[in-house]
């Protein structure tokens, strides 16, 4: 059975191996695919997987 449920900020962060602050930064600065439901951000794993695959999660362009 394919699991297709909405993931929370903490769950998507754990899945990607990043902190929740990074998830919020990616939502605001890198157009991470997220859906706001009330006050909560929710994610579809397949949308996030595609976003990562096409290179949008890269931090190489971030000035340090």
Locate the domains of the chain by residue range.
9-53
Q: What is the pLDDT of residues 1-47, one digit of tens each?
A: 556 789 999 999 999 999 999 999 999 999 999 999 999 999 999 99
Answer whether residue 49 shows pLDDT above 70.
Answer: yes
Rounded to two decimals, what is the model's pTM?
A: 0.80
Could you give the angle at which helices 9-16 and 45-53 cross, rounded to 10 degrees? 40
C-alpha separations of 56 from 2, 4, 19, 25, 37 in Å = 25, 22, 17, 12, 23
Query: How many Cα atoms are found within 13 Å in the side-chain-facing hemisphere of 24?
Result: 5
What pLDDT, on the 0 to 100 scale, is given for residue 28? 93
């Amino acid at each position: 059975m394919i699991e297709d449920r909405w993931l929370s900020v903490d769950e998507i962060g754990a899945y990607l191996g990043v902190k929740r602050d990074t998830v919020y930064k990616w939502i605001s600065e890198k157009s991470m695919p997220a859906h706001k439901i009330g006050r909560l951000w929710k994610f579809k794993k397949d949308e996030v997987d595609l976003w990562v695959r096409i290179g949008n999660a890269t931090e190489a362009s971030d000035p340090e």
